[in-house]
Amino acid sequence: MKTRHISLVALMLLLGWATAADAQSTQFSLGIGYQWVDLSGNGDMYKSQINEDDGFFLDDLTVGHTNADGYSMRVDAAGFGGNPSGRLRLESALRQVYRLRFNYSRAEHYSALPMLANPVLGRGIVPGQHTIDRRFDNLDLDVEFLPGRAISPVVGYSRSHRTGSGTSTVFAGQDEFLIDSAIDETVEEYRAGLGFNVGGFAGNVTQGWRSIESTEDFALAPGAGGGNNTRPVVGRDVTARDYSRTNSFEGSTPFTTARVAGRLGDHARLVGTFTKADLSTDSAMVESIDGSLVSFDLARYFGGRREEATGKTDGNDWRGEIRLEAEVVEGVEFSAGYLARHRELDGAEVMSTLYSNTTNFSGLDPRSIEVLLDAANALSREEKALEGTISLSGLGPARFWISATQVDQEIDMTVDAAQVVIPGGQDGSYDRSVRRVSSGLDVDFGDLSLAIDMRREDADEAVMRTDFTERERWRARGTWDVTQAVHVIATAERMDASNPQDGIDYDDETTRWGVALNVEPSKNLGVRFGYDLFRNDSTIKVRIPQDFTIEDSIYHEDGEALDAGLNFRAGRFSFDGGYSQFKNGGEYAFTLNRTYARCDLSFGEKLGAGLLYDSRDFSQPSLAVADYEARRYSLVLRWQQ
619-638 positions binding another protein, by CB under 8 A = none
d(CA 110, CA 251): 26
Q: Is 82 in the site for another protein (CB under 8 A)?
A: no
Q: Based on the shown chain and the rule CB under 8 A, indicate whether residue 588 belongs to the binding site for another protein.
A: yes
Least distance in angstroms from the C-beta of 220 to another protein: 14
| Minimum CB–partner distance for residue 291 and another protein (Å) | 17
Strand partners for 100: 92, 143
Contact residue for another protein among 264, 371, 544, 624 (CB under 8 A): 544
Site for another protein in 426-465 (CB under 8 A): 426, 428, 430, 438, 440, 442, 444, 449, 451, 453, 455, 461-465
Q: Shortest distance, CB of residue 74 to another protein, whole angstroms?
A: 4
DSSP-derived secondary structure for 44-94: HHHHHHT---SEEEEEEEEEEEE-TTSEEEEEEEEE-TTSSEEEEEEEEEE
- Least Cβ distance, residue 269 to another protein (angstroms): 6
Helix (H, G, I), strand (E, B) or coil at 364: coil
Smallest gap from Cβ 21 to another protein, in A, equals 4
Least spacing, CB of residue 126 vs another protein, in Å: 12
**Cα–Cα nearest to 616, from 628, 626, 624, 625:** 628
Among 401, 474, 568, 613, binds another protein (CB under 8 A): 401
DSSP letter assigned to residue 14: H
Dihedrals phi, psi of 403, to nearest 5 degrees: -140, 140
Buried b (16+ CB within 10 A) or exposed e, 386-402: ebebbbeeeeeeebebe
Considering the complex, what minimum distance in angstroms separates the CB of residue 363 from another protein? Answer: 24
* Amino acid, res. 269: R
Considering only residues 221 through 240, tell me which ones interact with another protein, judged by CB under 8 A.
228-229
The nearer residue to another protein, 148 or 222, going by C-beta atoms, is: 148
Residue from 582, 505, 586, 601 nearest 550 by CA: 505
Supply the minimum distance, in Å, between the C-beta of residue 364 and another protein.
25
Is the CB of 366 or the CB of 622 nearer to another protein? 622
| Window 44 to 63, contacts with another protein (CB under 8 A) | 49, 58, 60
Separation of alpha carbons 173 and 177, rounded Å:
10
Among the listed ranges 32-40, 419-427, 570-578, 603-611, the one in contact with another protein (CB under 8 A) is 419-427
Q: How many residues bind another protein (CB under 8 A)?
A: 221
Question: Where does this chain touch another protein (CB under 8 A) — which range of 28-36, 340-348, 519-527, 631-639?
Answer: 340-348
Q: Which of 229, 116, 106 is nearest to 177 (CA)?
A: 229
Q: Give CA–CA dist 173/520, Å, rounded.
A: 66
Which stretch, 355-363, 497-505, 569-577, 629-637, contacts another protein (CB under 8 A)? 497-505
- Asked if 564 touches another protein (CB under 8 A), the answer is no
Task: Give the nearer residue to another protein in terms of CB position, either 564 or 603.
Answer: 564
Q: Which residues sit opposite 591 in a β-bridge?
A: 583, 619
- Is residue 280 within 8 A of residue 314, CB to CB? The reply is yes
Find the part of the chain contacting another protein (CB under 8 A) among 28-36, 233-241, 358-366, 577-585.
577-585
* Residue of 224, 434, 540, 636 interacting with another protein (CB under 8 A): 540
Whether 473 and 492 have beta carbons less than 8 Å apart is answered as no
491 binds another protein (CB under 8 A): yes
* Nearest distance from C-beta of residue 546 to another protein, angstroms: 4
Q: Which of 181, 295, 190, 284 is nearest to 238 (CA)?
A: 295
Residues 86-145 that bind another protein (CB under 8 A): 86-87, 89-96, 99-100, 102, 104-105, 107, 111, 113, 115-122, 128-130, 136-139, 141-144
C-alpha to C-alpha distance for 315 and 342, rounded to whole angstroms: 10
Where are the extended beta strands (E) located within 228-267?
Answer: 239-264
- CA–CA gap between residue 140 and residue 86 (Å, rounded): 14
